[in-house]
């Protein structure tokens, strides 16, 4: 898989994740979960991943950026590198008990921590470990 297809795949995945998080029937009640300031749509997607409205908007934004990054190799590599840093920070914040709700706005605990950590590891591979290739533009005739 090339970096471009990684950006497209992860983009589609996070757009779907963000859209599914907005479907009330797929989000169970957050019984026993930490209290959030923004509790609109707060619950567990598929009973596993803590989400709320802001979290779904972040997933949608990441997904749209991934789909847009598919357009060129350089933008896909930049996307993968940015995604690595962003999701690594989120995974670490989720491990700190006082930061697992990012100041009460976005839930970052439970299964969300390993999802962010896994995303950071995979995007690190495509952003840093794959050889950097250059874009091949249109040829002049």
Q: Where are the domains of the chain?
A: 3-129
> What pLDDT shows up at residue 1?
65
Judge contact between 63 and 11, C-beta under 8 A.
Answer: yes
At 30-65, the pLDDT tens digits run 888 888 888 888 999 999 999 999 999 999 999 999
Indicate if the pLDDT at residue 141 is higher than 50.
no
With the C-alpha atoms ordered 73, 78, 79, 84, is the resulting torsion angle positive or negative?
A: positive
pLDDT at 133: 63
| Assigned token pair, 108 | 């970052």
Q: Which two tokens stand for residue 53?
A: 């409205």
CA 63, CA 51: separation in Å to the nearest integer?
A: 16
Q: Which residue has the higher pLDDT, 34 or 73?
A: 73
Tell me whether residue 24 is exposed, middle or buried, using C-beta atoms within 10 angstroms of its C-beta: 0 to 12, 13 to 18, 19 or more.
exposed
Helix intervals (H) in the chain: 3-20, 53-69, 73-95, 111-124
- pTM recorded for the entire structure: 0.86
Strand pairing of 43-45 and 49-51? antiparallel
């Amino acid at each position: 898989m090339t970096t471009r297809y990684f950006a497209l795949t992860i983009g589609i995945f996070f757009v779907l994740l963000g859209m599914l998080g907005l479907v009330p029937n797929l989000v169970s009640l957050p019984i026993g979960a930490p209290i959030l300031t923004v509790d609109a749509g707060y619950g567990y997607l598929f009973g596993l991943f803590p989400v709320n409205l802001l979290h779904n908007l972040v997933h949608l934004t990441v997904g749209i950026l991934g789909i847009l990054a598919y357009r060129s190799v350089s933008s896909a590599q930049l996307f993968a590198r940015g995604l690595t840093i962003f999701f690594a920070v989120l995974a670490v914040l989720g491990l700190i008990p006082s930061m697992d709700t990012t100041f009460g706005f976005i839930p970052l605990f439970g299964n969300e921590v390993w999802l962010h950590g896994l995303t950071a590891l995979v995007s690190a591979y495509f952003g840093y470990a794959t050889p950097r290739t250059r874009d091949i533009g249109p040829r002049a005739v």
